[in-house]
Amino acid sequence: MMHSPITRMPPSVRLVAPILLPALIPAVARRWRSARDKGLSAQARLYRLLAIRHWEMMVPTFDSLLNLFEGALRRPFAAGTGPSLTRDEAMLVALMDGSREVGSCVDCAQGPASALESAVRSTRVMMKIVMSAPVGAQR
């Protein structure tokens, strides 16, 4: 059975923690990129970052999202080091907060675009589930 793509997400899922996204997404992406560049386990590095808040369930979700984002870009993800976001980081935040759609900012074939759009939506759902629980409730 074929599934049709979801064209609109309900606002409660689409806009997950809008205040948190501009800080969290670049921190995760930079940690992921740094680990990949050094040949280290990206998931282990993400775990150290996210487990502090009991968000370790997000590790494989973010790893998959970033792998698919980089695949859609067809080049390494450009991560910054200072307070300003790179173009790629800003694009990822916009995708996650729902202000941009994959087709409007990533020029790629339909397959990678669909996979990335699914990953964005899945990440939003997981963030809603994991990050809206009281701190420590996941344990």
Residue 68: inside a domain: yes
3-state SS assignment for residue 69: helix
Residue 6: inside a domain: no
Q: How confident is the model at residue 135 (pLDDT cuts 50, 70, 90)?
A: low
Q: How far apart are CA 124 and CA 15, in angstroms?
A: 8
Residue 3 has pLDDT above 50, yes or no: no
Half-sphere exposure in the Cβ direction for 113 (13 Å, CA): 11
pLDDT tens, position by position, 4-36:
444 444 444 444 455 577 889 999 999 999 999
Residue 22: inside a domain: yes
Residue 127: inside a domain: yes
- Residue 132: the pLDDT is 80
Q: How far apart are CA 84 and CA 32, in angstroms?
A: 18
Higher pLDDT, 67 or 138: 67
Residue 11: inside a domain: no
Q: Count up the domains in the chain and report the number.
A: 1
Residue 54: inside a domain: yes
Residue 2 has pLDDT above 60, yes or no: no
- Domain extent at residue 126: 16-131
- Residue 103: the pLDDT is 82
pLDDT tens, position by position, 63-103:
999 999 999 999 999 999 989 999 999 999 999 998 888 88
Query: Whole-model pTM above 0.95?
Result: no
Chain centroid to Cα 3, Å, comes to 23
Residue 81: inside a domain: yes
* Per-residue tokens: 114: 């669909």
Residue 10: inside a domain: no
Higher pLDDT, 85 or 138: 85
